[in-house]
Each structure stands twice: as C-alpha cells, then as structure tokens.
Chain A
Amino acid sequence: MQLKELRDNIDNIDFQILKLLNERYENALKISKLKDKIEGQNREQEIFEKVKNNSFKLLDASFITDVYKKIITYSRELQSKDLKLIGFQGEHGAYSEEAAITYNREYVPIPFSEFKEIFDNVEKGILDYGIVPVENSIGGAVTEVNDLLLNTNLYIVGEMKIKINHCLLKNKETDYRDLRVVYSHPQALAQCRNFLIRNKLEARPYYNTAGAAKMLASEKPNGAAVIAGKLCAKLYNLEIIKENIEDNYNNITRFVIIAKQPSEKGNKCSIVFSTPHKAGTLFNILKIFAEAKINLTRIESISMIEDKLNYAFFLDFIGNPNDKIIGDTLNKVKKETSMYKFLGCYQESKIKF
C-alpha cells in the first residue's frame, strides 16, 4: 500500500513538472513577442546563478546546471520558431482551447483567466490571436465578449462553430459505483441535468469545466466526477465514463478569432452599429440589406456600457466588402447610423463535431 501511495505521489509530481515546464515555455514565448531579438547571455547567466545556488540538498549545482542548459536551449529553439500564439479563456482543456486547436492545429493556445486579458494582449502584440465565444445555442449571447468587441479596436478574422461534447470524467482509481457528486460549470451541469438525475448524482457548481477537471486530478475528492471536454481527460489523466451526456444534442458554441489586423479574405462579415432614437431607423438599415439581397446570419442587440438606454446592434451577413454590392451597401449603412464599426471579414465555419 505504501509503495503504491509513493508511486502515485511521483506520478502526481511528474504531472506537475510537465505542467510547470509547459507554463514556463508559454511565458518564454510571450516574452519573445515583446522583444525583436532574443536577449543574450546576461539573462541566462542570471538564471544559471539562481538555480545553482538553490538551497535544496538533493539538487547539486552540476546536475541542476545540466537540466537548465537543456531547458534554456529548448526555450531558445521555441522562441526562434515564430510560433503563432492564440489566447483563450479558462484553464488548459477548456472548450475554448478545443476550439482553438480545431481552428488551427499549428497555433499555440495560451490560457487567460479573463476575456479582457485576451483582448489586451492581442492589442499589445503579445498574442497573435484570441479566440472568444460570442454565442451559444442554449445560453445565448456572451455579453462580456460582445461588449469587448464593441469597445476595442480588434478585428474578427475567423469563426469556429463547435458542438459541445460534455463528458463525465473520473479518476482512474475511483469506482463509478461510488460516484455521488459531479463538479462543473453551472451551465454544463444544467445541460446534463437529466443524466445526473438518472444516475442519482448531485451537481456541485465550480468556476469552470477544465478547472473542475484540474481540481479532481490534483485533490482527488471521494466519490466525485466532473463534466468537462474530452481534451481534459488526456490533459489531467482522467477516465472518460461517457461522452455526449448532454440532454440536448444541439449544444453549439460559436467562437470568433480576433486579431490586430483585419483579414481581406472571407465570405462573411460582422458589423456593429447603433441608430438614432427615431421611429423606423433600424428598419431603414435592414431595408438596405434586403434591397441588396444580402443574407443576414445573425442580429443581436446589447445595451451599451456607457449609455445603458442605447443599444448596439451586431449584424453578421454573407459577403465580402471588396465586392461592389457589399461595399456600396456598407457605405449607405454608415450614413444612416449614429455609430458604425466594421468588425471584420472572415471565412464562414461549418459546425465541427
């Protein structure tokens, strides 16, 4: 029993080491976006000095210097590769990260706890892209993200529609018959309500799905499972009991990819505008689109932060602004609105399962 416990401890520590190494490289990549050239010897010397003079009995200077030589060489290699960084909200394993990977496997997903940080870091150039959810087929618009789209100067350069696949995950050593409670984001718990009732499981809200998976793996609470994405099983070494446990199969989240520079290519556009408080102003705008026979794919209104009595309208439509009909239409729309912003042109996404 003791041997097993110690081995479990080591497995746990190895997992932590990998996680921290990954985090270290994520930070190194962020740094490489800040400076033009990879900074030289001084900083590295500083690091070597620090680790050499560590006070841990078992980590002697020559050993740890070897380890860090490897770590730093690889860090430099990564920094010289010009990897594209894409920020997502949540912990590693979040649905947003799954969406980022599905959008482009080559991009490096970097986690952030707030949507605003993603927008800030794209603006500063630390991130090449951000991926943020704008709407969900069950939960509706993600207002915080829509507010940020309205109030920052970033462009939408892509979209991704993902079918959310909720999985029930447990630690490998837990017997499924002993499960009593399930941790997850309240929305995920609500979307799997019937499943939980059928199997007599108590829902316990947690701040997010991947965070719950992370907690389950590290704290191993008794009789507990989590609802999270498939990616979390791999990342946190959990067992998938069942996939697709949501009550409603049409659970689709639409993400947009944001960047500093607009994209020229694409077959779909997003704009946001507001209209003067007069009868028929919104109708007049929609009429312009109708007359030009442009297909609208989404219209959403949100109240504006600085002026709660006024609404901003988000409008998505099929077309490219370089096309003359679309260009002319947008010029007409601009004249009729009190606020107008072109959010970007991008390729329409099919739903990815």
Chain B
Amino acid sequence: MFRRILSASGVWLCLANAGWSAAPEQAPSPAGSGPSPPSAPAILPAPAQVAAQLDALLGDVWAKAEIAPAPRADDATFLRRAWLDLAGEIPPVDAVRAFLNDPEPAKRARLVDTLLASDEFGDHWGRVLTNWTIERRDRLEDGYDGRVLHAYLRGALQANRPYSTVVYELITGDGVKDRSGPANFLLRYDASAPVLAGAVGRQFLGLSLQCAQCHNHPFAKWTEDDFWGLAACFGRLHVLEGAADVGPLTAVYETRRGELERPDMKAELDEDGERPTKRVAPRLPGEKTVVAGDRREALARWLTSADNPYFARNAVNHVWSQFFGQRLANSLDNLDAFQESDHRVQVMEFLSRDFTASGCDLKRLLRVVTLSQAYQLASGSGAAPKAVATGDADAGAARQARLKYFAIFPVRPLSVDQLYQSIVRGTGHIGHDETPAEEDETDPSSEPPLAIAAQAVHSAERPGGKMAGPAAMEPPKSGKAERGATELNQADDPYDMPAEYTDWSVDLLGEQGLTIQRTLTLLNGAYVHEATQAGAKLAVAMRGRWRPAQIEWLFLATLSRQPTAEEKREMLRIQSEGKGQRGMEDVVWALLNSTEFNTNH
C-alpha cells in the first residue's frame, strides 16, 4: 500500500510543479463565503489503525537500514512525555500514581484522549500554533498583543475546529486588532500585501515565497508574477488607526475598490528619483485568469484545498518537529530534493494523506503520532548501562543513526514555558504575587498559599475532563487572562486581555534557550531559589516528617517516577549532611537542575 502512497505523492509533485490549481473546482459554499467544508470522508480508519500503519512503514525502514529500535518507553516515561508534549507541563503526583497503578492495557490511548480534552492542551498548543502562525510569543510587546491570537487559537483547538477552517478564517478576517484573532493575525503583518503573501507561503505552505518577490524562485516553480498575483489578493486591505484618545483600536478592513501597486523594476526612475509603479491583478499561483469575486476567499480556498499538498505537508512537518525535535523536511521549497526513498518523506506523505482525508483534524493527527511506536520508544538505547556510560564512539554513532530513523526518542530541552509550568507543578511556586480571582470566591483569604499550592500539585486526574483541581490551582499562564481556561469555557470574553505585559515564564527564566545565562538562572536565580524552598516545604506538607517519604514524593513531583533505591540512599545522605529543611532544599535544587528534569525524554 505504501507504494501507492508514494506514487500518489509523485502525482502531487507533478501537479505542484505544474501549478496544482488544475485540480477540480471547489464548490462555492451557499452564501458565497466561508470555507469550503472539508470533504466529509466516507470511512476513516481509527487513529490507532493509522498509527499501526505508520509503525509498519517505519518498521520496513528500520529493517532496510538494519537498525534495531530502542525498547518501548516505560509507563512513567510515556506519561511525563505525553503530558509535556500535549499539556505543556509535567503531570501532578496523583496522576503519576494513578497511571502507574492502572492495570488497563489501553491506558496510554486513554491518557492521550484525556490530555487532548484538557484546558492545558488548549493553552499549550494554542501557544505552539501562535508561534507557528506569527513567529512570535503570545505576549504584549511593542504595541502588538499576540495573546489575542493565542486566545483565538486556543478556542479553535478546544473545539477541535478543522485546521483548514482556522487558516481560512485568519486569511479572510477583519475587525479590531485586540478583539479578533484573524484581525490580530493580519495586523501582525501590518496588513501589508507583499508581507502577508510571504507569510502565507512561509507559515502555511512551508515555502519561501517571499524570494519570488524580487526574482523567480529557484526551487519551486514560483514566479515573480505568481508572488505578486497572490499578494494582490490582499491588495484591498487597509489599516484603520484608532485615535489615541479612544484607546488602541487599530482595525483592518477591506475596500471594494483599488488594486495593489508594485514597483516597476524595469521602468526608469522618474525626475524625483522615484520608481514608477504598476498595477497588479489578483491571481492565484499557476492560474492564468484574474480572481473574480472575493479575492481573499479565493486565496484561502486555494490555500486550504485538499488538492494543495503543501498545506497538509506543512502542518505535518510542524507537528512532527514539535514531537520529535526535528522536521521531516527543513523546507518544502526544494521539491527536487524530495527523495521518495527518504523515510522522512514517506512519513510526511503518509501523515499528510490522512490529515487531508480527515478534513485537517489536528487532534486526530496528534493522536496518530502519539499512539505510534516511534513516539513511544525509550530515549535510552536499552544497551547494558556499562557500554553507554563509557560513551564509546560506536554507541554515539549508533544513537545518531537511530535518531535519524526515529528509532529512538530524542532528548530535547524543555521550552521556557514547559520549564516554568513544570517548576510550578513540581514545587507549587508561581513566583509572582498574582492571586487567582476565583480563589477569593471559593475560599476565605485565610487559606495559606502553601496549602493551595499543595492541592494544585496533589490534584487528581479526572478522566475525560479537566485535570487540574479547582481553577484556583491552575498554574499561572504567561498571560493573566489565559490563566482561567475555565473562564473561556464559561463563555467569558476570550479577548479580554489585561492591559499590561505579562509573560511570567520569560520574565522569571529569561528569553534565552539553554545557554550559560539560563544555566545561571537555574543555578542561582531568585525564582528557582524560592521554588527550591517551596518544594521542600511542600514535601513536608504532603508527606509529613518522614524523610524517605518526602524524597519519594519529590521524585514523583519533579521527575514523575519513583527514585531508585540507590538514588533514595544518596539523596537521604545529601539531605542529612545539610540538616533538616536545608538539606531537603538541596535535594530539590538538584532535582530542578537535573538534566532529567529540564529535558523531555
């Protein structure tokens, strides 16, 4: 069957090269607007079945490359991994216990379902999608409030609206920047036609369209005219700047007349040294005829069409890199380099096909990937510890080969958000004064913060719904308004953003990746220091004065597993050297600084 997929992909490539717009016409929706409904697939195989097909595909690849995959990750490892990847944080202690004690064979699939239905999933993947769409963090910066787009995308994810519909809305939207996700998206690119054309190519097709702005694109068959024709679809967008005295009310709207003007590079400069411009008609890449009717709708329909292979490939590429730390293709530009024999291309085409067939069901794609064998492999080779510890060159080379073929799970540094949320989860320390509003309603203010934090960490997993405890226990998100996903569910205004900049994860841990500056922050920074103290207190609150029980609890809270006997002994020794609480703080410090804690593995 894979032969068939590949030959189909070959057809796609040809189509793409010829401009795939030769594809069947889209039936316009009744009102002449709105996305074309994703073609309802007759019968879709269950995600688990698709995952099994992916396993078979990679199994063939491994056999051919003579690579033995790493063993299956144990339950604790899988639990932590799935939480970090789907919910953006480590699991609470009770969730760890419950999962490890659950005898149900299908518990991994059930966990994935639970996580995909959680508020944390909306927050985390909303952030992922924000970065993917606008190449920025979801924060208020330089007068642009990326949290608005995040709120919109979170809502779309929680409702599991088709990814194609979401993109369609982003492209065709209008309105006030701080009141509409789509307007916020368009204004991120200043509603500028050429800038948006480049962004659409880059963010939604994975193509460097913007290169065709000045010259014909060397790889894909984009011409300069294709680029400008596409840009002209945004040619009637205008920005309305709100007067300063009525507050920031920047809006984007479309006029009914007017055409995009582009610099005419062939014309001579005029007397003032200005370059004359020429008009550009809206045209979809590869098409000869000018777009009739609503041009942004036409563009959005073309972009998200099931016949546009780049749209699904790009989504699959992003999703894959989110889980495996490497893209399937670094860019989709270079079609000539698409080797059908390359396992990465095979995976991309296979997943793209299912994604398209499902009507761009993002949650389904995440399910398929997380249920696959590749995602559930251990990050250790399973070789005798001695051979690994000596780190001989052969072991290193074998690991590289396995990584290349997705035959071992990669160890990846946590993102700043994952790291912050996980420290909060593990120690109960949020690092700022914010008091969740709900707390006052549910509880007298006499409630000591520690107990609240303890409850947060302790909160039990509830199947099929929210996992964190009461809303008060929600760890703070990088925007205050985002804290209460419950607020969103209660149909409060999703765009009601606090007026001030809030980005606690970056504020407390720094913007840099895992550099010397981040390392210093973890070693000596005030926030981690406080979290260390909070974590030690929490261990006492949760497990009383019996030190071994505290150690065990701290391991579950930070590393989502039981300590080994050796670790328990060693940590108790360290603790006793430091005397009492201070000794336990030292243990917490070591846990938070450990590579096991600050990576996803």
Partners in one complex: no
A positions within 8 Å CB-CB of B = none
